[in-house]
Structures are given as C-alpha cells and as structure tokens.
C-alpha cells in the first residue's frame, strides 16, 4: 500500500504538499552513497511538515529519517550550520539525533536541485507526529518535561561560538528587537532579504508591526544586556520532541529539527517555546474577529517554566525579559516565512498570511484581553521569581 503525502496547511487543515514526496526509488538512489547497512527496505511514514519533504525509512540496520530541501531553502553549507551545532550538542550529552555521514564523509548531499540529510531516529515515541506545530501540549506533565529538556539543551549549547547563520529562508533570528533602534534594524533586515525589501505590502505590514510591538521593545530594552548570546533551537513544541511513551505522564527524551536554530539567547528560545505551545493560535486563524477568546494555557506555562528552572534557573533580569520577549519573538520568524513564501514558492497568498496574518495579527493579539492575560501572568511570575531570589 502506498503512503499518501499530505502537509499541514497554515489554517491547520491537511493540504497538498508544496514539494513532491520522496519515493522509494529516490531514497534508494540517495542511500547508494551511504554505508551498505542503510540499504532501504520500505518507507514507513511521510512527514506532514510543509517546508520540505521527509520520510522515515526502514533499513537493514533500523529506522532512519531522511529530509529533502530545495537548494533555494538549504544548500549544503546551510545544512552544515545545523549539523555542526547538533554535533556539538551531542558531544556534550544532549539528546539530539546523530546525523549520518555518507561514504564521502559529508552529512549534507546536494543532488540536482535538492539538498538531503539523513538522521538516526532517536529512541522514544513520536507522540505529536501528526500535531500542528502550534498545538498545545497534551498535559501539564508534558509541558514541565519539555521545559527541563530545553534547559538541558541550553546548558549543552554553552561554549558554542559559531557566528550567526548566513542569510537564508526559514531561520528564526533575533536582530530587529535586539537593537536600540528597531526601525533601523527592520530596514536592514528587509534590505538583507531583497525579495522582502522590494515588496510594498511586506514593508507596510512591517511598519505596522513595529508600531504594535514598540511598547514591548521598550519593556525589553533595559534587560537586553542580560541576554547572553547563545545558539538556540528556536522551535520547541511537542512535535519537535520524542517522548518516553504515549501517556500524559510521558517524559521528553530527545529534541529534533534544528532547521530554525541560530545564535540568539536563552530567553528568546524559551519565549518561542511559550509562543508555540501555550496559545491556541488556530482559534485566532478560524475566528480573527474574536482575539479575546483565544485560549491561553497558563497551567502549561507555569509547568514549562518550572521544568526549565529545575535545570537552569534564570536571573531576575532574564525572567523580567520573558514577557516582552514572548510578544516580540515571532516577528523575525514571520518575516523569514514570508521570505520563503515569496522568494521560493512565489505565493502572494501565503506571503500575505505570513505578514498580515502572522506578523501583524499576532502583534495585535498581544494587546487583546487574552494576550494581556498571558503577558501579565509572565510579569507576575517574574516578580515572584525576583522576590524568591532576593530572600
């Protein structure tokens, strides 16, 4: 029986994928360049993630994960940035999958228009395999365990001194609101991504986002010196974790998908985990006129923070930075998505969803009743955190 490839759409529905699915013939041709023990037997599953084509393959030696990118999205060096970071983390004990090298010694292969990578599958269960990326955790215990694993990753990342990633689509950087002058930094970001800089609608949406996010940058600015640069994952949510079992008490045992990784800081990464997993954004997509009704899972929020601080406590300044960072961290990811949609897929509709529907609408949501509830909860948590440390 052949597997049918579907991808997660922006509105949470399953849609036809933008990229042709990997076939067993293609996989066999690729794995001819790898050690014999990785000879493929069959494709076990097809990933629904939208930005690439990926499959889990049964080989003679067990299961492996293969991902294929268009070279306009990731060339060899773009993937090697991720692979070097993952290797550093593994060497320091972080539960990160091993990237398998081909017979040539390369871990990223360019063939025709594509760039491929092959990973070992980590131990555990892909519990959120079919979940949309912004689906909340299934339980408080999952949120707490995810926080612990993110903190372990940050400890392992310390000392990794590679420069920020080169300019390319789909990288969650932090430069615009790391600057004293976000407007100037936004202009530079757009100039550095010419397909966005030439687009009038993107410039209009970017200016509106700057207006909406200005109060949060003002709140963050005093704490910027406390945010030590660190290479980070930037996309922690349930489906980028492997789990010990399928229960609500399962532990997160491995972290995958370093496609958005870059040199940012720990608070930025933690804010992304909150933004990805605590707010039910699909409700806003389905009911854009009802932002006050978007559910926010504060029990999961506090569990995530508790788990993180069990392993890697934040300073008072870092804790205070978390509320405004949560409102700001989506901005550059929205823009890098727009760069992908406009420059690679050439889709005006999807670009508008990324800029108007994500960059601006999410910025506006943080001024709603639900958005203020989330940020106030983070501010109150930071105040309690500071009092505890002061004792």
pLDDT of 36 reads 86
Q: Tokens 């293969």 identify what position?
A: 66
Do 186 and 315 fall within a single domain?
yes
Task: Report how far residue 38's alpha carbon sits from residue 127's, in angstroms, rounded to the nearest whole number.
Answer: 25
Do 28 and 170 fall within a single domain?
no
Do 82 and 189 fall within a single domain?
no
Do 150 and 116 fall within a single domain?
no
Distances (CA, A) of 377 to 236, 352, 362: 20, 31, 18
Residue 234 in tokens: 């930037």
- Give domain status of residue 173, yes or no: yes
- Give domain status of residue 185, yes or no: yes
Task: Report how far residue 39's alpha carbon sits from residue 28's, in angstroms, rounded to the nearest whole number.
Answer: 7
Distances (CA, A) of 228 to 44, 299, 323: 42, 28, 17
Residue 99 in tokens: 């990237």
Report strand pairing: 229-232 vs 262-265: antiparallel
Task: Report how far residue 74's alpha carbon sits from residue 142's, in angstroms, rounded to the nearest whole number.
Answer: 31
Do 324 and 254 fall within a single domain?
yes
Q: Could you tell me how far CA 5 lies from the centroid of its own chain? A: 22
- Give domain status of residue 134, yes or no: no
Q: Tokens 């506090």 identify what position?
A: 302
Do 288 and 237 fall within a single domain?
yes
- Give domain status of residue 362, yes or no: yes
pLDDT of 2 reads 45
Instruction: Give burial (CB, 10 Å; 0-12/13-18/19+) of 242.
Output: buried
Instruction: Give burial (CB, 10 Å; 0-12/13-18/19+) of 199.
Output: buried
- Name the domain count of the chain: 2
pLDDT of 10 reads 57
- Give domain status of residue 126, yes or no: no
Do 154 and 196 fall within a single domain?
yes
Q: Please calculate the CA angle 193-234-276 and round it to the nearest 5 degrees.
A: 105
Do 159 and 273 fall within a single domain?
yes
pLDDT of 5 reads 52
- Give domain status of residue 125, yes or no: no
Any idea what the CATH number is for the domain that residue 235 is in? 3.90.1200.10
pLDDT of 389 reads 75
Q: Tokens 């569990």 identify what position?
A: 303
pLDDT of 44 reads 94
- Name the residue range of residue 12's domain: 7-120
- Give domain status of residue 96, yes or no: yes
pLDDT of 1 reads 37
Do 245 and 285 fall within a single domain?
yes
Any idea what the CATH number is for the domain that residue 110 is in? 3.30.200.20
pLDDT along the chain (391 residues), means of 10: 50 73 95 90 91 95 96 97 98 97 96 96 91 86 98 98 96 96 98 96 97 98 97 96 96 97 98 96 90 95 98 97 98 97 96 95 97 97 82 65
Do 19 and 65 fall within a single domain?
yes
Do 147 and 68 fall within a single domain?
no
Do 207 and 76 fall within a single domain?
no
């Amino acid at each position: 029986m052949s597997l049918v490839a579907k991808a997660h759409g922006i509105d949470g529905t399953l849609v036809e994928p933008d990229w042709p699915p990997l076939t067993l013939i293609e996989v066999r041709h690729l794995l001819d360049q790898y050690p014999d023990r990785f000879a493929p037997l069959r494709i076990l599953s097809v990933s629904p993630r939208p930005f690439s084509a990926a499959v889990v393959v049964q080989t003679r030696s067990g299961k492996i994960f293969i991902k294929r990118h268009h070279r306009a999205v990731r060339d060899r060096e773009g993937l090697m940035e991720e692979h070097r970071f993952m290797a550093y983390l593994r060497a320091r004990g972080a539960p990160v999958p091993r990237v398998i090298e081909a017979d040539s010694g390369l871990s990223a292969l360019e063939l025709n228009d594509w760039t491929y990578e092959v990973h070992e599958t980590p131990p555990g269960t892909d519990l959120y395999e079919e979940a949309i990326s912004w689906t909340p955790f299934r339980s408080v215990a999952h949120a707490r365990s995810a926080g612990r694993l993110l903190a372990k990753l940050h400890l392992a990342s310390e000392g990794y001194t590679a420069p920020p990633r080169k300019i390319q689509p789909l990288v969650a950087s932090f430069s615009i609101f790391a600057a004293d002058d976000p407007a100037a930094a936004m202009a530079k970001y757009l100039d550095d991504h010419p397909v966005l800089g030439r687009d009038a609608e993107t410039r209009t949406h970017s200016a509106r986002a700057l207006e909406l996010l200005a109060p949060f940058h003002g709140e963050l600015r005093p704490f910027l010196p406390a945010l030590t640069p660190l290479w980070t994952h930037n996309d922690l949510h349930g489906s980028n974790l492997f789990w010990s079992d399928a229960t609500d008490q399962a532990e997160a045992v491995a972290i995958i998908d370093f496609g958005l990784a870059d040199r940012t800081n720990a608070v930025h990464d933690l804010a992304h985990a909150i933004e990805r997993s605590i707010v039910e954004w699909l409700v806003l997509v389905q009911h854009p006129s009802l932002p006050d009704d978007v559910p926010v899972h504060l029990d999961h929020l506090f569990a995530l923070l508790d788990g993180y601080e069990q392993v890697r406590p934040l300073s008072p300044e870092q804790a205070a930075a978390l509320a405004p960072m949560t409102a700001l961290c989506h901005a550059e990811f929205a823009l890098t998505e727009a760069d992908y949609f406009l420059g690679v897929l050439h889709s005006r509709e999807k670009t508008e969803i990324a800029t108007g529907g994500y960059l601006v609408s999410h910025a506006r949501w943080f001024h709603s009743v639900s958005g203020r509830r989330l940020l106030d909860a983070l501010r109150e948590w930071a105040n309690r955190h500071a009092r505890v440390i002061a004792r």
